[in-house]
Amino acid sequence: MVSERQKMEAGDWYCCIDDELHALRMEARRACHAHGTMPPDTRGNMAPELAAILGHAGEGAIIEAPFHCAYGINIRLGAQVYLNSGCAFIDTGQIEVGDGAMFGPGVHIYCADHHHDPALRKQGLERAIPVHIGANVWVGGGARILPGIRVGDDAIIGAGSVVAKDVPPGARVVGNPARVLP
């Protein structure tokens, strides 16, 4: 029998109302809480509890508090990645962030795609669609990146933008929905 977690990891429709997934979310909440309540003079760039649940955090990656993630296990941060305060990663699917990427405050990345049929959505059905952020990307404060998006290396996403389409390498996008600037 295939578990809901296995369905989630495969990108299939799964029920998020599940004991195993709930336990993983609670572990992530505890880790984010520990990170958010670290004394300011603590050595290191993140609480050990948060570092332990992340899929990968490259050398020099910094996550400012507060930070929220759904699971943590699906987040892969490259070297020298910087996440400013208030970022939230809903990592039902893989979120990959390339080396040197920088995020302003309050950036959200969403992998969860809830079912479009109201009756199935009410039952907790969703699917996880990965997000990929390239190297040396700058994401302005308050931007939202939707499920399945790929952002190419060296791109810039303007503050407050809602990214609903892939962003080519080196492009600058702004607005809601985000559009490529000439």
Query: For 16-56, how does the pLDDT look when each residue is reduced to its tens digit (9 = 90+)?
Result: 999 999 999 999 999 999 999 998 877 668 899 999 999 99
Mean pLDDT for the chain?
96
Strand partners, 14: 126
Among residues 172, 133, 168, 140, which one has the least CA distance to residue 156?
A: 172
Strand ranges for the chain from DSSP E = 14-15, 56-57, 62-63, 67-69, 75-77, 82-83, 87-90, 95-97, 102-103, 108-110, 112-114, 125-128, 131-133, 138-139, 144-145, 150-151, 156-157, 162-163, 172-174, 179-180
Q: Tell me how crowded residue 21 is: count the other CB atoms within 10 A of its CB.
A: 20
User: What pLDDT is recorded for position 88?
Assistant: 98
Share of the chain above pLDDT 90, in %: 95
Average pLDDT over residues 68-80: 98
The SS3 call for residue 28 is helix
User: What is the Cα–Cα distance from 8 to 45, expressed in whole angstroms?
Assistant: 29
pLDDT score of 161 more than 90: yes
Closest CA to 58 of 73, 43, 76, 45: 76
- Length, in residues, of the chain: 182
DSSP state of 10: H
Q: Respond yes or no: is residue 114 known to be catalytic.
A: yes
Q: What is the per-residue pLDDT across 132-158, written as a single tens digit (0 to 9) for each? A: 999 999 999 999 999 999 999 999 999
- Looking at the predicted structure, is the pLDDT value of residue 11 above 90? yes
| Catalytic annotation, pick one of 68, 114, 115, 132 | 114
pLDDT class for 74, splitting at 50, 70, 90? Answer: very high
* Reported confidence tier of residue 126, pLDDT bands at 50, 70, 90: very high
